[in-house]
Amino acid sequence: MSILELTATELAGQVQSGSLDPESALDAYFGEIQKSESHLKAFLLLMRESAYAQARSLRAKRAEGRTLGRLAGVPMAVKDNLLIEGFPVTCGSRILQGYRSSYTATVVERLIREDAIVIGKTNLDEFAMGSSTENSAFQITRNPWDLERVPGGSSGGSAAAVAGSMALAALGSDTGGSIRQPAGLCGLVGFKPTYGFVSRYGLVAFASRLDQGGPLARTAADAALVFGVIAGHDPKDSTSLVSSNEMNAHGLELPKDLNNVVVGVPKEFADASGVDPEVTQALEKTLEVFRSRGARVRSVTLPHVKFALAAYYVLAPSEASANLARFDGVRYGNRASERESARAADADSGEGELIGLYKRSRTEGFGREVQRRILIGTFALSQGYYEAYYGKAQRARGLIVQDFEKAFGECQILLAPTAPTPAFKVGEKTDDPVAMYLSDVFTIPVNIAGIPAVSFPCGFSRAGLPIGAQLMGPKGSDRRLLALAQFFEEATEKAFIRRPSMGKAKKATEARE
């Protein structure tokens, strides 16, 4: 079996036992990067040198007879909104150009502590705002299944890296769907944990009350392995839950059958408009698999979920406008020239040069989507409008939380599509922000409610594009959701765990060019 075909669990096992040299594993993955990265553009930074240094130190550690960690030698990609000390972090934005991280995110530290090897930082929509990775200030990442299509977003670089066999697993962040939607569009497993289970320390904040880091991987077992490593209480994050320590466990407990499982299908999702019929069909087949293994299926209602998208686009921009205030041209990254700053100050009489510097640096540094969110957020939070927007969105959040709680009284898990359509074309939605926002109708409610959800591959469109399904559960059901995703994989004999044929994708683009 080629190194690239090993799962993270298998690869780590072989490195631990000494039957696989961690450098050979890196050679295999950097070999794929050499072949495919110029087409996929998944990485913003490759960390070849530090990766090989770490591989060598793993080898030495083993030679000394010390036990290697749970992710021994696993080549991993990390979304470029997570800090790694000494390395640049861009968040896909020009405003951070030249900035280097002064410390390491807890989740990355935990990967390294378990001997994973970080091979690079991946592309993302600027500050994780987007659903296609087209909002990156630097490059457009392509979907390995079809190079004319987007990988989803905002963790599109992480998804393309794993789907394109350039990393064995990756970290992403999910504020409204940014792990699950790209996982769905690239045929991977993507997991958004219960809010508070994974530390946000060192994850550049977008909307702090919604952000949560998590894994993208090829299989549910691999996602669970990474989740087990990164989860757990962190005193450096004040919203980190103490109860999350029990999530830091080994392996998953797979049910033998689903005889005691009730799967709820939210009526509002089933009736949603704009869902591709191929997605609906794949979902029906998925339900059939659950049913054939003993699960009962029932329709449930989430009456306020129709407000989730609207509430999100008040809550998330509001928090973002506050979080992004720190990028002022003084403390981090890009600073406008004195001439530009003076000119900006002049244009608005009465303001000093400092205000001019802020304005000019932020105008130069932030892209259109980020500016749009800052404007919306600042407006929603302004005196006189606070109640009408932020206050109301908070109330909608409360109602959505209650809807889910009620639904979980009638069923243990909910099934829905991850995204309304398979991967769309590059450029298809860039001029229509609302169409882009709608890619997340099924994922956003989960962040609003703070519950966990896993996206897993459940089918393919006729054009050969992956389709993802999403399982949601109550707070704390994280490992159960991953176990059920693995159960589905086994029940379907891993029929949907496939790799794109990059050769075919490349030829198809070349023919078109």
* Interacting residues with ligand GLN (CB under 6 A): 128-131, 154, 174-178, 206, 316, 440
Decide: helix, strand or coil at residue 72: coil
49, 56 contact by CB (below 8 A): no
Nearer to ligand GLN, 128 or 449 (CB): 128
The tokens describing 174, both together, are 């999910």
Bridge partners for 414 per DSSP: 264, 472
Nearer to ligand GLN, 87 or 206 (CB): 206
Q: How far is the CB of 210 from ligand GLN (least distance, A)?
A: 8
Nearer to ligand GLN, 130 or 215 (CB): 130
Question: How many angstroms separate the CA atoms of 189 and 251, rounded?
Answer: 16
Nearer to ligand GLN, 176 or 365 (CB): 176
Q: How far is the CB of 436 from ligand GLN (least distance, A)?
A: 7
Decide: helix, strand or coil at residue 338: helix
Question: How many angstroms separate the CA atoms of 75 and 51, rounded?
Answer: 8
Question: How many angstroms separate the CA atoms of 364 and 356, rounded?
Answer: 12
Bridge partners for 495 per DSSP: none
110, 215 contact by CB (below 8 A): no
Residue 336 corresponds to which amino acid? A
Give the DSSP H/E element, type plus range, for residue 457: strand 453-460
**Is 132 known to be catalytic?**
no
Which residue among the candidates 36, 41, 79, 341 is catalytic per the annotation?
A: 79
Nearer to ligand GLN, 175 or 323 (CB): 175
Within 10 Å of residue 259's Cβ, how many Cβ atoms?
10
Residues counted in the chain: 513
Q: How far is the CB of 440 from ligand GLN (least distance, A)?
A: 5
Nearer to ligand GLN, 345 or 436 (CB): 436
Q: Which residue has the tokens 């064995």?
A: 168
The tokens describing 173, both together, are 């962040």
Question: How many angstroms separate the CA atoms of 333 and 90, rounded?
Answer: 9
**Is 504 known to be catalytic?**
no
Q: How far is the CB of 91 from ligand GLN (least distance, A)?
A: 11
Question: How many angstroms separate the CA atoms of 226 and 248, rounded?
Answer: 10
- Of 416, 392, 393, which Cα lies nearest the Cα of 404? 416
Question: How many angstroms separate the CA atoms of 13 and 47, rounded?
Answer: 24
Which residue among the candidates 132, 154, 165, 439 is catalytic per the annotation?
A: 154
- Of 253, 251, 186, which Cα lies nearest the Cα of 42? 186
92, 135 contact by CB (below 8 A): yes
- Between vectors from CA 496 to CA 296 and to CA 174, what angle results, nearest 5°? 80
Nearer to ligand GLN, 101 or 131 (CB): 131
Nearer to ligand GLN, 187 or 317 (CB): 317
Decide: helix, strand or coil at residue 454: strand
Q: How far is the CB of 439 from ligand GLN (least distance, A)?
A: 7
390, 380 contact by CB (below 8 A): yes
Within 10 Å of residue 363's Cβ, how many Cβ atoms?
13
Lateral strand order in the sheet of 189-192: 43-46, 117-122, 75-79, 169-173, 213-217, 189-192, 453-460, 466-472, 413-417, 262-266, 296-300
Q: How far is the CB of 179 from ligand GLN (least distance, A)?
A: 7
Q: How far is the CB of 156 from ligand GLN (least distance, A)?
A: 11
Which residue among the candidates 178, 199, 321, 455 is catalytic per the annotation?
A: 178
Question: How many angstroms separate the CA atoms of 20 and 265, rounded?
Answer: 44
The tokens describing 440, both together, are 């997340």
Question: How many angstroms separate the CA atoms of 241 and 170, rounded?
Answer: 23
Give every CB contact of residue 158 below 8 A, 6+ residues apart in sequence. Answer: 42, 77, 78, 79, 122, 124, 167, 170, 171, 172, 182, 216
Catalytic residues: 79, 154, 178
